[in-house]
Amino acid sequence: MGVNKAGFGITDDEIVSEAAKQEVIRRCFRYQCEYTMGLVDRESVQRVEKLMENLGIKLEDRKVVGDARRAAHECRLKGKGNENVFCGAAIELPDGSIITGKNSSLMHASSSLILNSVKHLAKIPDNMHLLPPSIIESIRRFRKDVLNKKMVSLNLEETLIALCISAATNPAAEIAVEKLKDLRDCEVHLTHLPTPGDEAGLRKLRLNITCDPNFSTKDLFVC
């Protein structure tokens, strides 16, 4: 179909308009984060913010944004988080459910989010551990003693590897691994810029990600 005929392919203008607005919101988050990292100038952010103003939309019109921010706020109120850093994450699953995750001394918010999501999809009880404490502690010691990392909590890429190892002996973890495929194309929002290990894991799961322009740690080079 040629560009001049594209309009004839639209059968529901309301759906198309909403999709376009959501894309503008995603672009705004992207430019804000790139500005924070010094990749674009302030003018790029201002242009998309002006477009949002003209369309009458705001960042919170993306469903998962509010839930992620509330998760981070709850994390702070309960005194959890990790080394005085409080992060939240939220995902909208195919059934419309919103699942959240928070960071802790054991794992990043992205890691918690994905584990909580596959538990929900597999109908695994919240109190059932998918990752044996021995595996988590082994990875933490490796990060600290061998790699000399300052932050030893598990990023998403490490969590996914640990989940696959656990699946060899844990039937629940095996089911959870199968449910990872159902997360593809789901909408995700983080209250922080993902670390390289989180970003790699989220990308491999093929999630649609946005994030607030905040660093999740005082050490900008942590992974």
DSSP letter string over 69-136?
HHHHHHHHHTT-SBTTB--EEEEE-TTS-EEEEE--SSB-HHHHHHHHHHHHHHT--TTS-SS-HHHH
Q: How high is the pLDDT of residue 6?
A: 54
Both tokens of 54, joined, read: 């003209």
Strands 187-190 and 98-102: unpaired
* pLDDT the model gives residue 221: 39
The per-residue pLDDT for range 155-174, each reduced to its tens digit, is 999 999 999 999 999 999 99
Rounded-to-integer distance, Cα 66 and Cα 189, Å: 9
| Residues in the chain, pLDDT under 70 | 1-12, 217-223
Name every residue whose Cβ is closer than 8 Å to that of residue 146 and which is 6 or more positions away in sequence. none
Spatial strand order in the sheet of 88-92? 98-102, 88-92, 187-190, 208-211
pLDDT of residue 219: 47
Three-class DSSP category at 178:
helix
Please compute, for residue 172, the number of CA atoms within 13 A of its CA located in the half-sphere on the CB side. Answer: 15
pTM of this structure: 0.88
57-101 residue pLDDT tens: 999 999 999 999 999 999 999 988 998 899 999 999 999 999 999
